[in-house]
Amino acid sequence: MPDLSALPPDLPCPVDDGACAHLSGGLMPAITLPSTRGPDIELGALPPGRTVIYCYPLTGRPGESLPDGWDEIPGARGCTPQACSFRDHHREIQEFGVTVFGLSTQTQNYQREMAERLHLPFPILSDSDLGLVRTLRLPTFETAGMTLVKRLTLIVRDGMIEHVFYPVFPPNESAVQVVAWLAECP
């Protein structure tokens, strides 16, 4: 079983295929998603100011195998290190007045186990019916019979997508990249 908290040294780096070029300047749709922490979140009615939504394909579970060939899919591996990075830098991000959400196409129950196990101080949103993915035309890939969102991070300001990080690599440095961007773009 792989160590979900560690990144293998030879992961393939994802390339920018332009699949997120249309997102900057767009409005967040009025889509409501289940959250691992309390009430559902309506993305079209986020609180004023900035919100970070980091999207990731699939978190593994200890003792369970990842899909065959997972480490060979550029950008697939690293969801647990990415979540831990946002957990570890959450206070820094909050100091900028920013709200954080994680998002994947996994079910709310699957995500809840991961959020509790990793002690995440922010909600994880489930887009298991692909409503947001389809509406925003987020990039996806298929593996093991699943449609998964590619790793990207949205910076939303007052309901509009202000900035997109895509591709995100290495995933364990995602939160550090967001903190640096927030410091440069107050």
pTM, two decimals, is: 0.95
| In contact, 81 and 11? CB cutoff 8 Å | no
Domains along the sequence of the chain with CATH: 32-184 (3.40.30.10)
Distance separating alpha carbons of residues 10 and 107, to the nearest angstrom: 30
Q: What is the pLDDT of residue 10?
A: 86
| In contact, 147 and 134? CB cutoff 8 Å | no
Is the pLDDT at 1 greater than 70, yes or no?
no
When pLDDT is averaged across residues 161-182 and rounded to a whole number, the result is: 97
Q: What is the pLDDT of residue 2?
A: 63
Share of the chain above pLDDT 90, in %: 88
